[in-house]
Chain A
Amino acid sequence: MTGTGNRGELSRRRFVEALSAAGVAGAFAGCTGDGGGSANGSGEGGANGSGGNADGSSNESSGNSGSATTVQLSGWAANNEESAFLQEVVGQFDENHEDITVDYDAIQSKYKQKLKTQLGAGNAPDTFYVKGEYFSSFASQDVLLELTSVAEGEGFDTDDFFQPILDAFRYDGTLYGIPKGFSTLQLYTNSTLWEEAGASEPKSWDDLRSGLEAVKSSTDVKAPMILQPNARAWYGLVFQNGGQILNDERDEAVFASKAGVEALEFLAGLKRDGLAAIPSDISASWQGAALGQKSVAAGITGPWAIPFLKAEHPDVNENTTVSHIPTPSGGTKATPAYTVSYSVSSNTDAPDASKTLVSYLTGKEGMKQWASKGIELSARKSHGDMQFYKENPRYKTHYEAGEWSKVVGYGVNSAAILNLLNPQLEAVMVGEKDPKPALETAQEKVNTEVLS
């Protein structure tokens, strides 16, 4: 009995020990598993945040191909073709730079949130995309490496860039990003419907209004034009009308000026008089879809609408014209622009190699290659005679507006300002508020709660 009892005791004890050990191991496995996932997300080549002393190119040898430095490059990709094409461009860089290996890894969703977390944790990629809209909030917190040396590099020629696009990546006068391309918003019109209404290409706000009135009376579209109930189109119209969003020092909101109110009154007037609709009025998710479904005859949108129309609505695409956004009488040309930079983490272990990569991708040849398929507009003026723009004049219309474009960005507190401004603009577009009090409320809130 004793023997049996001892065997039983021993067995039970071993069982308990084994179970406990398994539990503890399981708990730690959970931890390491998660950590491993994070590590993979931030750098498979181990080039990131752990190797080297960041004190020169000789220490940038944390990669996995002999003495070559590995640079991790991250961004988003709209589709697989875009991702594959960037991989191809990067492959060519690798071939020409034996001492540098690029590890490209696209973040497919929630890019900004993931990048912010990675930067905070100190394991961000070496080189990554930064949107102009939130660039200042990154630069102001010292997480980006200044790229003056890239700009001053031999043959780089910063004068060749559209200055508004390049300047979008300066913070306190210092360059922290080089544009990889840009997009502008322009007026898309269905020329068949427009001609049916007997209207000509609108050059001014008055032309646009009278053209839409003609479309309304002569065609059976759900609404002559589609407008987003936010700051997108209004942003450009404010500048056209001589106004500004922030003052020159960017420390005070000034958009409730006469120019800003008139611009909003013009857009709200189109909506009020049945000449424009917001997406939810006509069950369309965005301007491209509304144009493609022939629900509207006009919309203000970016060059991303062209491949969409080509693929989804080829018949409408053939009759879609792109022209510059009409200006008010006595106003100036201006259009909202969206741009993205290649920037380098201030915490990188491979600063020199990262700068070399950025210089290549944004140089004359690299950017030409990138822009040659229309994925993005080239930010360089010398690319205006590129074959692609000769063959695709609608892209050329978007491209040439780079000269007078106004990059969408509201400074260090861009998101906070937009979260106060957009609901007021939305209230105007759905008829809840009048333009003047809505803009004054937003301006007062921005100045007291965000910029004070």
Chain B
Amino acid sequence: MALEEGEDRGDRRFTTAARDLLGGTRERLGSGGDGDAIMGYLFCLPNVAVFSLFLLGPVLYAFWISFQQWSILQNSGTWVGLSNYAEVLTPLPVTAEGLNLVVFTDPSANLFWWSLKTTLVYAIGTVPLQIYGGLAVALMLDTRVRFKKAYRAAYFMPVMLSGAASAVMWRWFLSADGVVNNLLPTFLEHNWAGNPSYALGGVMLMAIWGGIGSNMIFFLAGLQNIPQELYEAARIDGASAWHRFRHVTWPNLGNTNLFVIVMAVISAFQVFGIALVFSEGGPYYATTTTVLLIYQRAFEEGKMGVGAAMAFILFLIIFAFSYYQYRHHQSGEIEY
């Protein structure tokens, strides 16, 4: 006890000295005045400069290009107003005559809406499994398991592989006489990459395999931040394993969950590399996702304005979803 009191007094002395020192510094620099502000700005300057030059600047430039018929070869364009947006969005899924759902079922009607549907199907098929697969693996590896580090490394391995390498590998696995078909009963064998009905499934399988590992890491970090006292208290109150998960683990993973969901949805809406390498958007548009379509329009066909317009529409969709998730999370936040 004497020692603890001594430590406590020592801590207090240290805190007071620190406060004095900071106070003195503030006075010398002009506390709350211009000095603080200038120093703050100077500290921010490198980051702001790099961010503005290499991120914000190009984004604003791309927004400007979305209103132009832009030639990358001549590095100039003609102002066309909203016509790039009109070209991308028409025909609309809803018209004065009613619903025009053919834009989602026939790629020849409007490839942007088709690609958006494909991206949405991909997101719905991959995001929950990536997230809750990652959570399940994290829960398993957060217990006393032998070879825990080896399992963690194994699950994290796909994250370290580039998307292109994964796509090439999975293309072999899923080829007509690949390892997947060899393991499946005959009636389930498919030419996964070559059949429009199954190609997107192949891309989704690849994404789930890659996504579980990265989400596992976030959930493991989240799990290790939950105070053990809460579990001890729950155990004393006679809570079962399910109740401990339901009432302690799950609410405490709220922030991790929000982060993982937002990142997984953004990543799903931006799927590009694996779809390009696995099946180049085909067969017959089966894996033409929105970002792949943007790439084709902008960089293959040279329609930079149309590509930029599509990119900003996609940005708005992702922003709306992320904002909704954030607000939804805030309304359900629990504080202990």
A contact set with B: CB distance below 8 Å: 5, 9, 12, 16, 19-20, 23-24, 26-27, 30-31, 113, 116-117, 119-122, 137-138, 141-143, 229, 278-283, 413, 415-416, 419, 422-424, 426-427, 430, 432-433, 441, 445
Contact = CB atoms under 8 A, between A and B. Distances in A.
B194 interface: yes
A136 to B, nearest CB: 12
B283 interface: yes
A280 B75 CA distance: 40
Contact of B300 (A16, A26, A281, A415): A415
A432 B25 CA distance: 75
Given A120-B73, A280-B175, A281-B176, A137 B302 contact: yes
Contacts of A137: 73, 302
* Most chain B CB neighbours (cut-off 10 Å) among A229, A282, A430: A430
B302 A415 contact: yes
B55 interface: no
B36 to A, nearest CB: 11
Interface residues of B, number: 40
A423 B74 contact: no
Q: Which 6 A-B pairs have the closest CB atoms?
A: A280-B194, A23-B46, A120-B75, A20-B42, A283-B175, A427-B284
A445 B108 contact: yes
B75 A27 contact: no
A426 B39 contact: no
B191 interface: yes
B176 A282 contact: yes
B28 interface: yes
A116 B177 CA distance: 40
A430 to B, nearest CB: 5
A31 B300 CA distance: 28
A427 B39 CA distance: 63
B107 A423 contact: yes
A279 B299 CA distance: 26
B133 interface: no
A433 B71 CA distance: 35
A430 B283 contact: yes
Contacts of B300: 415, 419
A198 to B, nearest CB: 28
B111 to A, nearest CB: 9
Contact of B177 (A283, A419, A423): A283
Given A5-B24, A12-B25, A142 B178 contact: no
Contacts of A424: 284
Provide the main secondary structure of the chain B interface.
Answer: loop
Contacts of A119: 73
A347 B24 CA distance: 62
Interface string B277-292: 0000111110000000
B49 interface: yes
A416 B72 CA distance: 15
A279 B108 CA distance: 25
B226 interface: no
B43 A416 contact: no
7 contacts: A23-B43, A24-B45, A116-B72, A141-B73, A283-B172, A423-B107, A423-B282
A394 B175 CA distance: 32
Given A19-B42, A280-B193, 19 more contacts: A20-B45, A116-B73, A137-B73, A229-B283, A279-B194, A280-B175, A281-B194, A282-B176, A283-B175, A415-B296, A416-B301, A416-B303, A423-B283, A423-B284, A426-B283, A427-B283, A432-B283, A433-B284, A445-B108
A278 B108 contact: no
A432 B50 contact: no
Contacts of B15: none
* Most chain A CB neighbours (cut-off 10 Å) among B73, B281, B282: B73
B160 to A, nearest CB: 22
Interface string B14-44: 0000000000110010000000000100110
Given A423-B107, A423-B282, A430-B194, A413 B301 contact: yes
A421 to B, nearest CB: 12
Contacts of A113: 299
Contacts of B299: 113
Contacts of A441: 108
Interface in B38-81: 39, 42-43, 45-46, 49-50, 53-54, 71-75
